[in-house]
Chain A
Amino acid sequence: MLKILVCVKQVPDIDLVKMDPETGNLVRDGVPSMINPLDMNALEAALRLKEDMGGEITAITMGPPAAEAVLRECLALGADRAVLVTGREFGGADTLSTSYVIAKAALQLGSYDLIFCGKETVDGATGQMGSQLAERFGTSQVTSMSLIKSLDMERGSIVVEREVEKGVETIEARIPCLFTVEKTNYQPRLPNYRGKKAARTAKIITMGPGDIEGLDEKLIGVPGSGTIVPRIYPPVLPEAGQIIDEGSAAASAVKLCAILAAEGRI
């Protein structure tokens, strides 16, 4: 049976995160959380494969206990089991230590033929997790994957399309393989009520630091991270440009055209 792992993350709705102009800190209070939008494309790719070939989808996330909400979304859409890796010790992790923990936890529960990740998250936006998880799992990888064309389990190969700067590559990869998924062809579906209702009370496998065998404490959380953020600051803005105000939008536009014409720009 085809075994698929989908890695997801709960993120804040960053459009609603505001910066406190006094302190320069981010105000996250009351900002709703959601599943990272590009992770939905990864899940959609997995769901379509499962529809065609059968199989089992495991969804995994690392985060605070509230992150189980995003796992329930995955279950509602058709994931078969969900794993929440949670614990204070994991907090403050960068991608180096997060990829270590997620791979350890997932491998303890089984092996996977195909692993799907979103291309990047809207909050961290490093786009590194896919490659780093592939290294941790020891699988092949195709990042920016936009379409699965065929899967041959007997030969252990999968043919996909990959979006690069100048066009599209068709790539054959050996299984097991990890993909980061583009949104191009994988618009997520809507969950149905049956799935939603079942997901509401479904069991979620929760793993803390003590539940993961052979976990090296030096490699998790802040101590296991390669990078730190010693400080943040508000963007330094250049001096404002010249504001053209001729009383109305139309009059200002005319004046602007005159200036640009005088400068030889139009």
Chain B
Amino acid sequence: MDKRDYKNMWVYIEQNEKQIEPVSLELCCEARKLCDVTGDRLLAVVLGACPETELDKVKDCGVDGFIHVEGTGYEYYNTQAYANAFTVLSEKYRPSAIFVGGTVNGRDFAPRFAVRLNTGCTSDAMELVYDEKTGDIEFIEPAVGGKIMAVITLPVLRPQIGTIRPGTFRYEPTGGRENIEHIYERIDFPLEEIDTRILAFTPGEGDSELDISDAEVIVCVGNGLKDEASLGRYRELAKLLGGKIGCTRPLFDRGILPYKLQIGQSGVMVKPKLFIAFGVSGAVNHVAGVDAEVFVAVNKRADAQIFNYCDYGIVGDMDQVCDAMIAEIKRMRS
């Protein structure tokens, strides 16, 4: 294999109920910047039918073209047809890189077709950098619980495949291009060969407290939390501020709060107006999931890394600070 034979970058356009997942658009925007550096063309890969209005959003992100795949097997997500389509397309067109949104389904099939193509697959990069010398993309991601940043490359094999979590990159469309190319491919996957069948879908419990991705105020508790009993005051503060409570990975691991409240790269990405972190150490994986207008940190350790990410910080006992904030806010409002 000569990696120089592989050109252009692809973004998989993931659809859910005829709507394009935001992560696909985020990836188009980021890959656009990368292609501007490398001179590659940026192509969006769409499996099955997709409404024109949705495709317009993709065009806005500055793609140079589309690969539209028609055929059987794309009505609902299944590992086999999707992995097959990318295998067939990659063998035919030899892209340099393929970016797939790190959704549950994206992470399901991307590693699988990577193996079929005998190439490497990275996951959860937070930054993509082109190394001119080697011609490789550097996928930069936090490792070992966020204690270090690791640079990952594919020095020999192509395509370079990466799944990237929703919310990692910004959706900042730069506007459509002239002369968008449309490639149409027919790849049928025999329906009777699909080994999995969705019998039913139950939407997640409608508990709005568990949906924090759009919350304007988030009170986030970290591993500094003493025990479950101390949690009440943070709920109260969140309620007072019209916000919701969230947590870091250790609190989910400790079984104190559910996964849906775990903020960070491997949990929920949030973009609140006000974010208050209590007893949070500031691991990269966690803060990568926070895009706040005002970031407040409270931690008893003055050397906690979280203070590097905050606008305002208090070094002190998290419970005491929380109690005092509750009292003060009540006083200010009365």
Classify A-B as touching or not with yes or no (CB < 8 A): yes
* Contact status B313-A96, CB under 8 Å: no
Interface size on A, residues (CB 8 A): 80
Cα distance, A259 to B320, chains bound together (Å): 18
Produce 1/0 per residue, A196-232, CB < 8 A to B: 0000000000000000000000000000011111111
Return the chain A residue nearest B326 by Cβ: A253
Whether A50 is near chain B, meaning CB under 8 Å from some CB there, is no
Produce 1/0 per residue, B87-105, CB < 8 A to A: 0000000000000000111
Cα distance, A103 to B38, chains bound together (Å): 37
* Contact status A15-B195, CB under 8 Å: no
* Contact status A135-B123, CB under 8 Å: no
Other-chain residue from B108, B274, B320 in contact with A260 (beta carbon distance below 8 A): B274
- Size range of the interface on B? 35 or more
Main secondary structure of the interface of B (DSSP, over half): mixed
Contacts of A168 in B (CB 8 A): 201-202, 204
* Contacts known (A94-B120, A131-B79); A167 close to B312, Cβ less than 8 A: no
Other-chain residue from A135, A174, A257 in contact with B115 (beta carbon distance below 8 A): A135
Other-chain residue from B115, B118, B119, B123 in contact with A127 (beta carbon distance below 8 A): B123
Whether A153 is near chain B, meaning CB under 8 Å from some CB there, is no
Name 15 extra pairs, CB < 8 A, besides A14-B147, A240-B308: A26-B144, A129-B111, A131-B107, A140-B80, A141-B196, A143-B107, A143-B108, A163-B104, A226-B118, A227-B120, A234-B148, A235-B284, A238-B308, A253-B325, A257-B328
- B contact residues vs A (CB 8 Å cutoff): 16, 79-80, 83, 103-105, 107-112, 114-116, 118-124, 142-157, 195-204, 241, 250, 253, 266, 273-274, 284, 294-297, 305, 307-317, 320-325, 328-329, 332
- Can you name 18 A-B residue pairings with CB atoms under 8 Å? A14-B145, A26-B147, A129-B111, A132-B114, A132-B115, A140-B196, A165-B104, A169-B200, A229-B151, A229-B152, A232-B150, A237-B309, A240-B310, A241-B313, A242-B311, A253-B324, A260-B296, A265-B294
